[in-house]
Amino acid sequence: MQKVYLDNAATTQVRKEVIERMQEALAQHYGNPSSTHSFGRSAKTAVEQARKTIAKTLNAQPSEIIFTSGGTEADNMILRCAVRDLGVETIITSKIEHHAVLHTVEELEREYNINVWYVDLDEFGNPSLEHLEKLLKKDDSKKLVSLMHVNNEIGNITDIAAVGELCKENNALFHSDTVQSIGHYPWDVQGINIDFMTAAAHKFHGPKGIGFAFIRKNSGLKPLIVGGAQERGFRAGTEPFHNIVGLEEAFVKAYEHLEEETQAVKELKKYFLEKVEQELPEAVCNGLSGDLEKSTYTLINIRLPFDKQKALMLLFHLDMKGIACSKGSACQSGSDQGSHVLNEILSGEELEKPSLRFSFSMYNTKEELDYTVEVLKEFASS
């Protein structure tokens, strides 16, 4: 049976070079980075070099990069500490954020009695900058805006430079979940007004269980996880050295080959869109995922013309044919509530039709896409 992996927004295949680097780290550099002997110093040097490498590419300072277990921890840490330590009284976000943000602000609303305001979305799922400005000017409370750069389900790209300027003009903090864009887009944190960002290595061909937070220097945040003095005292716990060097290797390779790999994946998305249009003309793209300029090149979210009963078997059928994709984010796969993102932008009638997210990487081929569309076409006519 042919195996086709089109769920790269959930996680990506680890690069061969990353695996080799991690194997070397596990076999040869097993000292605790906090130990003062040569084994520990060797590991500590590599950890700090990884921090410098990431900081240089983002045009940040090494002290502004904090290693975490991934995007969820980083989002939680930043939002919680902003309320606890910086006196944030109001968080402005949207209803289509990742649940690492949505559930965190809901908890903070209960625990600290803060205000949580949701910015209006247009029909495609884009946040309204006009409404955001109104919310920022609504009162004098200390505010933090949390809006993701690339939506993980429909691929919309938020103009975070414009959001950053609005935050600056209104003396608000700005946090962005950039998990779907770090490793896929160039960054210069000095060129935009942003206080906090998050990343996860497994979204750009690195290992799972490691990521980082960008926290602007002198932010005033204090540790959420306390214990040892790791991460300059900001995040206690023995550093997972093998994961950190794996993250560094994946990060370096992503930016070394960014232009060529972006073009290659963009061509795959364009090809898939054309094939779907030819073979399944009634299919519709959700959000702006079908727009090659206004959405990320890495994914497409398609609503298919199948009735409700047939839709129940669609993912199972694709899986049986060896095709991996998603009906929403992987974090939603165990939920029977459906996609909270699509629930916000589609009508009840539209939600009756099945929607699938196909996400691509440099490891995919046009032949795989041909096979996928053929399987969908056969299912449609069965």
Domain count, the chain: 2
* pLDDT digits 0-9 by tens, 237-294: 999 999 999 999 999 999 999 999 999 999 999 999 999 999 999 999 999 999 999 9
Same domain, 296 and 324: yes
In degrees, to the nearest 5, what angle opens at C-alpha 284 toward C-alphas 1 and 334? 60
Same domain, 60 and 207: yes
Domain boundary among 212, 228, 256: 256
- 75 with 50: CB under 8 angstroms? no
Q: How far is CA 288 from CA 142, 150, 153, 302, in A?
A: 33, 11, 11, 10
pTM for this entry: 0.95
Same domain, 281 and 148: no
Tell whether the model's pLDDT for residue 12 goes beyond 90.
yes
Q: Which domain holds residue 95?
A: 16-256
Same domain, 231 and 264: no
Same domain, 80 and 20: yes
Structure tokens at 331: 């974090």
Same domain, 136 and 93: yes
DSSP run (H or E) holding 285: strand 284-285
Domain containing 319 — which CATH number? 3.90.1150.10
pLDDT number for residue 361: 98
Same domain, 72 and 214: yes
HSE, side-chain direction, 13 A CA sphere, residue 270: 8
Q: Catalytic residue among 81, 285, 325, 331, which? A: 331
Domain containing 70 — which CATH number? 3.40.640.10
Residues 210-238 have a mean pLDDT of 93
57: helix, coil or strand? helix
pLDDT number for residue 329: 47
Domain boundary among 189, 223, 256: 256
Same domain, 246 and 111: yes
Domain boundary among 256, 277, 296: 256
Same domain, 272 and 249: no
Same domain, 207 and 290: no
Q: Report residue 13's pLDDT band, with 50, 70 and 90 as the boundaries.
A: very high
Same domain, 331 and 373: yes
Tell whether the model's pLDDT for residue 65 goes beyond 60.
yes
* pLDDT digits 0-9 by tens, 228-243: 989 988 999 999 999 9
In terms of Cα–Cα distance, which of 108, 91, 194 is closest to 145?
91
* CA dihedral over 243, 362, 285, 145, signed as positive or negative: positive
* CA dihedral over 319, 323, 328, 334, signed as positive or negative: positive
Alpha carbons 177 and 97: distance in angstroms, whole number: 8
- 146 with 92: CB under 8 angstroms? yes
Residues 144-170 have a mean pLDDT of 98
Answer yes or no: 331 catalytic.
yes
Residues 146-170 have a mean pLDDT of 98
* pLDDT digits 0-9 by tens, 101-112: 999 999 999 999
287 Ramachandran zone, left/alpha/beta (phi>0; psi -120 to 50): left
DSSP 213-247: EEE-TT-----SS-SS-TGGGTS-S---HHHHHHH
* pLDDT digits 0-9 by tens, 329-367: 445 444 456 899 999 999 999 999 999 999 999 999 999
Same domain, 226 and 262: no
